[in-house]
A and B are shown apart, each in its own frame.
Chain A
Amino acid sequence: MTVATSTRSGFLSVMLRKIGTLSFLLRSAPALFLLLVVLMAVFADLIVPFDPSQQDLGNSLVGPTWQHIMGTDSLGRDVFSRMVFGSRISLIVGTSSVAVAMVIGVVLGIASAMIGGTTGEAIMRLTDLSLTLPGILIALAVAATVGPSLTNVILIIALLYWAQFARMARGEALSIRERDYVQSAYAIGCSPWRILRVYILPNLANTIIVLATLEIAAAILLESTLSFLGVGVPPPTPTWGSMIAEGRPYVELGWWTVTFPGLAIMLTVLAVNLLGDVLRDRLDPKFSNRR
Chain B
Amino acid sequence: MSLRFVVGRLLQALLTILLLSVIVFGLARLSGDPINLMAPMEASPEDIATIRASFGLDKPLPVQYWYFIRNAAEGDFGRSIKWDRSAAGMLIERFPATIILSITSMLFGLLLALPVGIWSAVKRDTWFDNVGKIVALAGQSMPTFWFGILLILFFSLYIPLFPTSGYGIDIHLVLPTVTLGAFVAASIMRVTRSAMLDALEADYVRTARSKGVPEWRVILVHALKNAAIPILTITALQAATILRGAVVTETVFSWPGIGKIAIDAVYGRDFPLVQASVMFMGVVFLTINLLVDMAYVLLDPRITYLRK
A interface residues with partner B (beta carbon < 8 Å)? 1, 3-4, 12, 16, 19-20, 125, 128-130, 132-138, 140-142, 144-146, 217, 221, 224-225, 228-231, 241, 244, 248, 251-252, 255, 258-259, 261-262, 265-267, 269-270, 273-274, 289, 291
Give the size range of B's interface with the partner.
35 or more
Whether B277 pairs with A16 at a CB distance below 8 angstroms is: no
Whether A132 pairs with B16 at a CB distance below 8 angstroms is: yes
Whether B278 pairs with A137 at a CB distance below 8 angstroms is: yes
Interface centre among A144, A221, A274 (most CB of B within 10 A): A144
Q: Which residues of chain A are near B63, meaning CB under 8 Å?
A: none
Interface status of B28 (Cβ within 8 A of chain A): yes
Interface status of B274 (Cβ within 8 A of chain A): yes
Whether B143 pairs with A273 at a CB distance below 8 angstroms is: no
Interface status of B248 (Cβ within 8 A of chain A): yes
Q: Please, how many angstroms separate the alpha-carbon atoms of A230 and B269 in the complex?
A: 13
Q: Which residues of chain B are near A125, meaning CB under 8 Å?
A: 12, 15
CB distance from B131 to the nearest CB of A (A): 10
- Interface residues in B236-270 by Cβ distance below 8 A to A read 243-244, 247-248, 251, 262-263, 266-267, 269
- Interface residues in B180-204 by Cβ distance below 8 A to A read 194, 197
The 6 tightest CB contacts between A and B, nearest first, are A262-B146, A145-B31, A270-B141, A269-B141, A144-B266, A252-B157
Choice from B27, B143, B289 contacting A221 with Cβ under 8 Å: B143
Q: Which residues of chain A are near B13, meaning CB under 8 Å?
A: 132
Whether B194 pairs with A137 at a CB distance below 8 angstroms is: no
Whether A251 pairs with B152 at a CB distance below 8 angstroms is: yes
Q: Which residues of chain A are near B285, meaning CB under 8 Å?
A: 132, 134
Q: Which residues of chain A are near B278, meaning CB under 8 Å?
A: 134, 137-138, 141
Whether A230 pairs with B267 at a CB distance below 8 angstroms is: yes
Interface status of B127 (Cβ within 8 A of chain A): yes
Q: Which residues of chain B are near A269, meaning CB under 8 Å?
A: 141-142
- Interface residues in B208-244 by Cβ distance below 8 A to A read 243-244
CB distance from B228 to the nearest CB of A (A): 19
Q: Please, how many angstroms separate the alpha-carbon atoms of A144 and B24 in the complex?
A: 12
Whether A225 pairs with B145 at a CB distance below 8 angstroms is: yes
Nearest neighbor of A271 in chain B, beta-carbon distance: B141
Whether B262 pairs with A140 at a CB distance below 8 angstroms is: yes
- Interface residues in B99-137 by Cβ distance below 8 A to A read 124-127, 130, 137
Q: Please, how many angstroms separate the alpha-carbon atoms of A171 and B137 in the complex?
A: 28
28 contacts between A and B (CB under 8 A): A1-B125, A3-B125, A4-B124, A16-B126, A16-B130, A19-B127, A19-B130, A129-B12, A129-B16, A130-B19, A134-B244, A137-B262, A137-B278, A144-B31, A217-B141, A228-B143, A241-B143, A244-B143, A251-B152, A252-B153, A252-B157, A258-B146, A258-B149, A259-B150, A262-B146, A269-B142, A274-B137, A289-B194
- Interface residues in B273-289 by Cβ distance below 8 A to A read 274, 277-278, 281-282, 285-286, 289
CB distance from B188 to the nearest CB of A (A): 15
Whether B244 pairs with A270 at a CB distance below 8 angstroms is: no
Q: Which residues of chain A are near B124, meaning CB under 8 Å?
A: 4, 291
Q: Which residues of chain A are near B23, meaning CB under 8 Å?
A: 133, 138
Choice from B12, B143, B149, B194 contacting A128 with Cβ under 8 Å: B12
CB distance from A116 to the nearest CB of B (A): 14
Known contacts A125-B15, A132-B289; A140/B263 CB under 8 A: yes
Interface centre among A132, A134, A224, A244 (most CB of B within 10 A): A134
Whether A229 pairs with B263 at a CB distance below 8 angstroms is: yes
Known contacts A132-B16, A145-B31; A262/B24 CB under 8 A: no
CB distance from B152 to the nearest CB of A (A): 7
Q: Please, how many angstroms separate the alpha-carbon atoms of A287 and B201 in the complex?
A: 20
Whether B251 pairs with A145 at a CB distance below 8 angstroms is: no
Choice from A1, A12, A128, A145 contacting B28 with Cβ under 8 Å: A145
Known contacts A125-B15, A137-B262, A141-B278; A273/B137 CB under 8 A: yes
Q: Which residues of chain B are near A20, meaning CB under 8 Å?
A: 125
Interface centre among B28, B138, B158 (most CB of A within 10 A): B138
Known contacts A132-B286, A273-B137, A274-B137; A244/B146 CB under 8 A: yes
Q: Which residues of chain B are near A141, meaning CB under 8 Å?
A: 24, 27, 266, 274, 278
Whether B247 pairs with A221 at a CB distance below 8 angstroms is: no
Q: Please, how many angstroms separate the alpha-carbon atoms of A289 and B266 in the complex?
A: 40
Nearest neighbor of A147 in chain B, beta-carbon distance: B31
CB distance from B86 to the nearest CB of A (A): 20
Interface status of B30 (Cβ within 8 A of chain A): yes
Interface status of B64 (Cβ within 8 A of chain A): no
Q: Please, how many angstroms separate the alpha-carbon atoms of A133 and B261 in the complex?
A: 19
Known contacts A16-B127, A145-B27, A258-B146; A270/B138 CB under 8 A: yes
Q: Which residues of chain A are near B19, meaning CB under 8 Å?
A: 129-130, 133
Interface status of B97 (Cβ within 8 A of chain A): no
Nearest neighbor of B13 in chain A, beta-carbon distance: A132
Q: Please, how many angstroms separate the alpha-carbon atoms of A144 and B266 in the complex?
A: 6
CB distance from A130 to the nearest CB of B (A): 8
Interface status of B297 (Cβ within 8 A of chain A): no
Choice from B30, B267, B281 contacting A146 with Cβ under 8 Å: B30
Whether A266 pairs with B153 at a CB distance below 8 angstroms is: no
Q: Which residues of chain B are near A140, meaning CB under 8 Å?
A: 247, 262-263, 266
Q: Please, how many angstroms separate the alpha-carbon atoms of A248 and B151 in the complex?
A: 12
Nearest neighbor of B15 in chain A, beta-carbon distance: A129
